[in-house]
C-alpha cells in the first residue's frame, strides 16, 4: 500500500473484528485530522455493533505503526496564523485518545516498527499492545520544543520507578525488550505473523489464546532495564537541576550512560524539559481526564510560543540540527512561566470525559 494508492486510513469490519489500518507508510503513518475524525466516528459505530467483539489497529508499510501527528502540517498551519486549525487537530487527537482509553471492547494494537507521539496515544491506552522485533517506542517531543502529550502526563509517571520521567524528559528510544519489561507493550510476536494474528482475531478466536500461540521469544532488554538503578537514583531528584547534578556526579566516575543522558537533556528545549519534568510530578495525582485537560492547556501555551516552531524548523524543515531555543538554557527559564503553563485557560475548555 502506498500513500497515493488508497485512503489515509482503512476502516473495515472483518468477521468479529473492527480492523483499522493507518495507511500513510511514506509518512510513517503520521496522523492527520481527517484520519483522527474518521477513526473516532468508526469506533463509535463499532461500539454499538454487536457483530464486532474487538478492535484491531495496525500500521501499513512495515516501517512504523505510527510516528505521531503530521507535525510538518501543524507547523505550516501555525506559521500561517491558522491557529484554530492547529488547535482543532490537538482537540481531535486528545479526545480520540481519551475515547480509546475508555473503549468498552477489547482494543488490540499490532505495533511493528516506530511508535511515537500520536501513535503512542492510539496504542498505549488500549488493552493489548503487541510488539514486533522491530518495535521502537519514543516520546521525543522535548527535542522539537513540545512536550510528551497524548495522555503521557497520566501514563508515564505510572511506569516502574522513574523510567517514565526519564522517557518524558529525554525522549530516548525504547526497544521491545524494555517495553515489555516496563509494561509499554503487553505481548511480543514476529512481524511476519501479524497478518495471521489479525485473521485469527477476526475469526473470533480467544484473544489471549491467539496471542499466546504466536508469542515470540522474549527480546533482549536494553538500557532502561540495565540502567534502572541509575535512572531511579538520578530522576528521583526534586528538580531537573538536581537531576542533572546527580547525572553529572554519576558521570564523573567515567560511566557513559549518565553522561550521555545529561548531554541529551541539555540539547533539548529548556522550556520543554522543565514542562515534562513538572508533568511527571503532577501527573501521578491526576485522573486520565484531568491529565488530558492539563495537556490541552500546555498545548495552547506552547503553540503560542517560540520553541515548537523553532524545534520543528531545525529537525524537520531546515534539518540543520541547530535550534535556537528561547530561553537558551534551563537556568534561564523562569519557574513562574512553567507553573503558569499548567493553569486553566481563559474561557471554556474542552471535555475529555
Residue 171 above 60 pLDDT?
yes
Mean of all residue pLDDT scores within the chain: 96
Binning pLDDT at 50, 70 and 90, where does residue 270 land? Answer: very high
Q: What is the mean pLDDT of residues 271-299?
A: 98
Active site (annotated) includes residue 149:
yes
Residue 3 above 60 pLDDT?
no
Residue 303 above 60 pLDDT?
yes
Active site (annotated) includes residue 69:
yes
Report the percent of the chain where pLDDT is more than 90: 93
The full 3-state SS of the chain, as one line of letters, equals CCCCCCCCEEEEEECCEEEEEECCHHHCCCECHHHHHHHHHHHHHHHCCCCCCEEEEEECCCCEEECCECHHHHHHHHHCCCHHHHHHHHHHHHHHHHHHHCCCCCEEEEECCEEECHHHHCCCCCCEEEECCCCEEECCHHHHCCCCCCCHHHHHHHCCCCHHHHHHHHCCCEEHHHHHHHCCCCEEECHHHHHHHHHHHHCCCCHHHHHHHCECCCCCCCHHHHCHHHHHHHHCCCCHHHHHHHHHHHHCCCCHHHHHHHHHHHHCCHHHHHHHHHHHHHHCCCCHHHHHHHHHHHHHHHHCCCHHHHHHHHHHHCCCCCCCCCCCCHHHCCHHHHHHHCCCCCCCCCCCC
Catalytic residue chosen out of the listed positions 61, 69, 113, 145: 69
Residue 329 above 90 pLDDT?
yes
Q: Give this prediction's pTM.
A: 0.95
Give the pLDDT confidence score for residue 36 in this predicted structure. 97
Active site (annotated) includes residue 12:
no
Active site (annotated) includes residue 15:
no
Catalytic residue chosen out of the listed positions 8, 70, 97, 149: 149
Tens digit of each residue's pLDDT (9 = 90 or more) over 181-218: 999 999 999 999 999 999 999 999 999 999 999 999 98
Catalytic residue chosen out of the listed positions 78, 113, 117, 118: 118
Binning pLDDT at 50, 70 and 90, where does residue 5 land? Answer: low
Give the pLDDT confidence score for residue 6 in this predicted structure. 75
Each domain of the chain, given as residue ranges in start order, spans 9-341
Report the DSSP pairing between strands 9-14 and 17-22: antiparallel
Residue 1 above 70 pLDDT?
no
Residue 146 above 50 pLDDT?
yes
Residue 53 above 90 pLDDT?
yes
Taking domain 9-341, whether its CATH number is 3.40.605.10 is answered by no
Give the pLDDT confidence score for residue 218 in this predicted structure. 82
Amino acid at each position: 500500500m502506498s500513500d497515493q494508492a488508497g485512503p489515509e486510513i482503512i476502516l473495515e469490519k472483518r468477521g468479529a473484528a473492527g480492523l483499522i489500518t493507518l495507511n500513510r507508510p511514506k509518512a510513517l503513518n503520521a496522523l492527520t485530522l481527517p484520519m483522527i475524525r474518521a477513526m473516532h466516528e468508526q469506533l463509535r459505530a463499532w461500539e454499538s455493533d454487536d457483530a464486532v467483539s474487538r478492535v484491531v489497529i495496525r500500521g501499513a508499510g512495515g516501517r512504523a505503526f505510527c510516528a505521531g501527528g503530521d507535525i510538518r502540517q501543524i507547523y505550516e498551519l501555525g506559521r500561517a496564523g491558522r491557529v484554530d486549525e492547529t488547535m482543532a487537530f490537538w482537540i481531535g487527537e486528545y479526545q480520540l485518545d481519551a475515547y480509546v482509553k475508555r473503549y468498552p471492547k477489547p482494543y488490540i494494537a499490532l505495533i511493528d516498527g516506530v511508535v511515537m507521539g500520536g501513535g503512542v496515544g492510539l496504542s498505549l491506552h488500549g488493552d493489548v499492545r503487541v510488539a514486533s522485533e522491530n518495535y521502537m517506542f519514543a516520546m521525543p517531543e522535548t527535542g522539537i520544543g513540545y512536550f510528551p502529550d497524548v495522555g503521557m502526563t497520566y501514563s508515564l509517571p505510572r511506569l516502574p520507578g522513574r523510567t517514565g520521567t526519564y522517557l518524558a524528559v529525554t525522549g530516548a528510544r525504547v526497544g521491545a525488550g524494555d517495553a515489555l519489561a516496563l509494561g509499554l507493550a503487553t505481548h511480543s510476536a514476529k512481524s511476519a505473523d501479524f497478518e495471521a494474528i489479525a485473521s485469527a482475531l477476526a475469526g473470533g478466536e480467544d484473544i489471549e489464546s491467539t496471542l499466546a500461540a504466536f508469542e515470540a521469544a522474549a527480546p533482549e532488554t536494553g538500557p532502561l532495564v540495565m540502567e534502572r538503578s541509575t535512572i531511579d537514583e538520578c530522576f528521583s531528584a526534586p528538580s531537573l537541576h538536581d537531576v542533572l547534578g546527580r547525572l553529572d556526579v554519576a558521570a564523573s566516575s567515567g560511566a557513559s550512560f549518565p553522561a550521555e543522558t545529561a548531554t541529551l537533556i541539555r540539547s533539548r528545549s529548556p522550556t520543554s524539559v522543565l514542562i515534562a519534568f513538572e508533568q511527571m510530578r503532577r501527573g501521578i495525582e491526576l485522573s486520565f481526564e484531568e491529565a488530558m485537560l492539563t495537556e490541552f492547556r500546555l498545548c495552547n501555551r506552547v503553540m503560542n510560543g517560540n520553541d515548537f516552531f523553532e524545534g520543528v524548523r531545525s529537525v524537520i524543515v531546515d534539518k540543520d540540527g541547530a535550534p535556537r531555543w528561547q530561553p537558551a538554557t534551563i537556568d534561564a527559564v523562569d519557574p513562574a512561566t512553567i507553573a503558569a503553563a499548567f493553569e486553566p485557560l481563559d474561557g471554556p475548555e474542552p471535555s475529555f470525559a
